[in-house]
Amino acid sequence: MKTSAPYAVLGAGSWGTALALQLIRNHRTVRLWGRDSQALAELDAHRENKRYLPGFSLPGALALTGDLASALAGAAGVILAVPAEALRSTLEAATRKGLGRLPILIATKGMESATALLPHEVARAVRPTGSLALLSGPSFAREVAQGLPTAVTIASEETETAHQFADAFHGSSFRTYLGVDLTGVALGGAVKNVIAIGAGLSDGLGMGANARAALITRGLAELVRLGLHEGARLETFMGLSGVGDLILTATDDQSRNHRLGRLLAEGVPIEAAQSRIGQVTEGMRTLPALQKRRRGAQVEMPITDALDAILNQGADPRQSLEGLLERSRTAEFSGADRINRCPP
């Protein structure tokens, strides 16, 4: 669906800025909204997001505004790129300021801590009607801003909405794939941040590449168990928003969650580590909500339990991670424990 109407990107952090730059690259008209008027004034003065995404000039075609009603007026669609904890309040404010039935694309990853709701569930709670889509996949903001090759999933239960946002973002260096599994895509974007903290801890403790690969693989198994219980599709977790995003986030220090794990392994206190990173680490915020959600579903997630013990209960990181390997032997896949033994 081609349109000359502007897109409103809500959230002027690194991710919102990068997505706005991708839309501009595709010759779309874009309004970038942020709630911090002083920060927006600095962005406008320097035409650069020096705090969250330094090194990239903001083209004149990118309009900056702190007026939410102006950002939404006449928009073709709305992209939400705010932290998970700010999603509800941003949507509520947008609803008061003219959001109406505009199609929304949620690029937020995580869970709401108080309710354990996924981003699309929060959106449905705030706005029961109107089309929505999710954007997720292995996509560091800086690389998107650089125009480096990136592939993401855009999932929606409404075909027209999926195609509209996929067309808006798709370009020579930014490939969009369509999906329909909102729960699977959202769970992948939330759980991978938690597992990435564990991978960072493992790397920081010098536990080796084998241990990192085991954590990622068994972390994926935990994600799949929870997802299938909640009605998600297995193939979603084998795709960009599942294993793709998990590998990226758990193996590279561009990931704030991976960096957090490394800093904690060095003995840096949690608050100091988060302050040093300087931006939200969604894995820390997601973990309590993930625990609430998986306990309600009665799904076994031992890596998640171990990370909860480390981050929220003061458990020793090395002992906790090594303890995962000391658990009773079990089958890797359901039914594998019934493999016929070879005759003597």
Angle at 32 between CA 28 and CA 38, to 5 degrees: 155
Does the active-site annotation cover 192? yes
Measure the CA–CA gap between 288 and 290, rounded to whole angstroms. 5
Which is the catalytic residue, given 50, 109, 192, 292? Answer: 192
Supply the residues annotated as catalytic.
192
